[in-house]
Structure 1
């Protein structure tokens, strides 16, 4: 069952009944996308919340001058969407793109609402995930405001050491709030 990784992930935090497992299998649709594919477009209401079985995704938007700003890079296991817009069902200015080939599970807002109405465990899990998202975003904002570029890079490498093997340096630099040239200088300094 392609939903097994998600089920195992949830079981690390919550007890799941047979009915809960059946509901997860019913509501989460497995999908496979090639690398460099836009799977949610800006200007539209995000259709899905994605769970990442394998692969890397990014959330990004364009500045007025046309530059891309990567706001989130996610690696398995984890969830990704433009959360505020997904929950509020409003158009997002962000896009979701696969960086590598991705094996995902996806669920619509309506199906997530049905699932959480039918399963207390999934309701509790969903609340936990959205709380983690808020905490992560606040922590990230604080890091961008208070840490130097080198400190942000070191923290990313400590937290996600495999990211450089799968994600282009330009996306990592944008995510860290710097130009690719600055990140190259930092990496050169740290390896010399």
Structure 2
């Protein structure tokens, strides 16, 4: 729970009573590799804080191909925030890439925190802004780079992930085929 508290305190000041309230609302949840935390076609019901493991955001394009859009690892929140916040049907899946341990907050518990802690809306907005900024910074360069540069950027941005996630997900995230990724990896060695 301390890791969650430390993370939240980066974005605003809370007293012990407030952090205890947040802790009381969190439910420990274990997800196995390939389990979904949130599914396309459904309204997201939870916010999660990752204690262990890696999640990916993915969707299917108009050709039915699975596209990995983003990875989130431990020490971060995982949620389709826009859809959770507005209670709209999600268009992406959030899937456990590894076995994961998270602290999960139901919609009701998240709203209880919002309605009880003065200034939580500002903290929440800062957390969301940080998550969005990270996502944009990690994705934007990939659009204009060649495959080798994209892979090197991926390794720099996600140094702990390369040996933890399937290469098919890495290739999908980079927008290249697995064969191309194999060639890139071979040429780098």
TM-score normalised by the chain length of structure 2: 0.90
Cα distance in structure 1, aligned partners of 2:119 and 2:174: 35
Pairing 1:19-58 to 2, within 5 Å after superposition: 19-58=17-56
Cα distance in structure 1, aligned partners of 2:126 and 2:85: 14
Q: Deviations over 1:19-63 (max 9, x none)?
A: 111111122211111212123221000111111000111111112
Cα distance in structure 1, aligned partners of 2:36 and 2:185: 29
CA RMSD of the aligned region, Å?
1.8
What's 1:6 paired with?
Answer: 4
What's 1:91 paired with?
Answer: 89
What's 1:189 paired with?
Answer: 187
Cα distance in structure 1, aligned partners of 2:47 and 2:55: 12
Q: Tell me the SS of whatever aligns to 2:30.
A: strand
What's 1:149 paired with?
Answer: 147
Cα distance in structure 1, aligned partners of 2:7 and 2:70: 21
Q: CA deviation at 1:141?
A: 4.4
Q: Are the aligned partners of 2:35 and 2:95 in contact in 1 as well (CA < 8 Å)?
A: yes
Residue 60 (structure 1) aligned with residue 62 (structure 2) = no
Provide structure 1 residue ranges, at least 5 long, that are not aligned to the other structure: none
Q: Deviations over 1:112-156 (max 9, x none)?
A: 232123224643321111112332343344223222222222122
What's 2:127 paired with?
Answer: 129
Q: CA deviation at 1:17?
A: 0.8
Q: CA deviation at 1:10?
A: 2.1
Q: Are the aligned partners of 1:39 and 1:98 in contact in 2 as well (CA < 8 Å)?
A: yes
Q: Tell me the SS of whatever aligns to 2:83.
A: helix
TM-score normalised by the chain length of structure 1: 0.89
Pairing 1:86-125 to 2, within 5 Å after superposition: 86-120=84-118, 122-125=120-123
Q: Tell me the SS of whatever aligns to 2:162.
A: helix
Q: CA deviation at 1:106?
A: 1.2
Q: CA deviation at 1:190?
A: 0.8
Provide structure 2 residue ranges, at least 5 long, that are not aligned to the other structure: none
Q: Are the aligned partners of 2:56 and 2:70 in contact in 1 as well (CA < 8 Å)?
A: yes
